Amino acid sequence: MANSVVIIGANRGIGLGFVKHYLKHEWVIHATKRDRSKSTELDALSNKIQIYSLDVQSIEQLSILKSKIKDTPVDLLIHNAGTYGTGLKEEQVIDINSEAPIKLANALMPNILKSKTKKVAILTSQMGARNGGPAPTGLYGKSKCYLNDNFRAIEPEWRSKGITSVLFHPGWVATDMGGTNAPISVEDSVEGMKSVIDNLTIRDSGKFYTWKGDIHPW
């Protein structure tokens, strides 16, 4: 049976890159996007992948997603959705960047536990590292810093259930968030992260990786 991946926040940027890349490798793809998202590229793939509505702040949409996915085994959950926070209130940014990745993984835990490989990859940022990166300044850095702390608090519990979960800094990537000066393409970032994910074992759980597979300092 083909491997299955759930990609949260898949309509553009790195999330869309993951969709295209895993599709090329013939995975079964469950991709989410917000109702308001402009996503012609993702929608054009609707005959090949499952697309669900999900604003990560919406409990109602999360419960609909769960009811649609039912008891499908999920080999890999990629939580990609994130915001730089422009124009949002602090509590919204914390909710989206720091709380939702953990909430989503917990909500889909029964599906992840049904799979053989049981992997979770969450996109954070070097901006959330207290050491070895730019200081976590601004609301974005603070929210990713909280995400890293939340991940480190919950990861041992997930690991005790046989789940391998990791964080990624995807690099400075040319997306709407990264901007046009970013030196790394979506394709290179995604290909790098996929090859790290492919080789993960439970012994790697709890690590913070760069897109190239180096260990990122916390």
Q: How far is the CB of 107 from ligand NAP (least distance, A)?
A: 14
Q: How far is the CB of 80 from ligand NAP (least distance, A)?
A: 5
Determine which residue in the list 5, 7, 14, 109 makes contact with ligand NAP, applying CB under 6 A: 14
Determine which residue in the list 7, 9, 51, 69 makes contact with ligand NAP, applying CB under 6 A: 9
- Binding string to ligand NAP for residues 65 to 104, with x set by CB under 6 A, is what? ---------------xxxx------------x--------
Based on CB atoms, which residue is closest to ligand NAP, 34 or 207? 34
Residue entry with tokens 């999330």: 15
Q: How far is the CB of 42 from ligand NAP (least distance, A)?
A: 9
Q: How far is the CB of 170 from ligand NAP (least distance, A)?
A: 5
Determine which residue in the list 37, 72, 150, 185 makes contact with ligand NAP, applying CB under 6 A: 37
In whole angstroms, give the CA distance from residue 200 to residue 195.
9
Q: Count residues near ligand NAP (CB under 6 A).
A: 28
CB–CB of 18/88 below 8 Å? Answer: no
In whole angstroms, give the CA distance from residue 1 to residue 159.
25
Provide the edge-to-edge strand list for the sheet that holds 119-123. Answer: 50-53, 28-33, 4-8, 76-79, 119-123, 164-169, 208-210
3-state secondary structure 97-157: HHHHHHHHHHHCHHHHHCCCCCEEEEECCHHHCCCCCCCCCHHHHHHHHHHHHHHHHHHHH
Using CB under 6 A as the criterion, which residues of the chain lie in contact with ligand NAP when the complex forms?
9, 11-15, 34, 37, 54-57, 80-83, 96, 123, 125, 169-170, 172-173, 175-178, 182
